[in-house]
Amino acid sequence: MAIDSLPDPQHLRQLALAVMPYGKYAGRYLVDLPEPYVVWLVKQELPAGLLGQQLLEIYEIKVNGLEGLLRRLIREAGR
């Protein structure tokens, strides 16, 4: 694995602490959104900008069963 392909730790922390800003799940960490909801969002038109990018990343994390990585970062942040 090339060093360029390693994830940025700061980016992962930011993703771990990202919160859904609206809707039924407003205030929840994105990683804690129900998987069927995340899948539905990805099949729809994702919001533009950072939130859309983060939701797509959360989708990939959930599909690959890596939620524990982000939840550990949340615990380490004391939240």
Predicted local confidence at residue 2, as pLDDT: 52
What are the angstrom distances between the C-alpha of 66 and each of 7, 40, 44, 62, 79? 13, 19, 23, 6, 19
Predicted local confidence at residue 19, as pLDDT: 97
Phi, psi of 29 (to 5 degrees): -60, 145
Instruction: Report the C-alpha gap between 76 and 53 in whole angstroms.
Output: 23
Please state, for a pLDDT cut of 70, what percent of the chain lies above it. Answer: 92
Instruction: Report the C-alpha gap between 77 and 10 in whole angstroms.
Output: 12
Segments making up each domain of the chain, as ranges: 31-79
Please give the average per-residue pLDDT across 66-71, as a whole number: 91
**Confidence at 79, pLDDT banded by 50, 70, 90:** confident
**Confidence at 8, pLDDT banded by 50, 70, 90:** confident
**Prediction pTM value:** 0.85
Instruction: Report the C-alpha gap between 21 and 54 in whole angstroms.
Output: 12
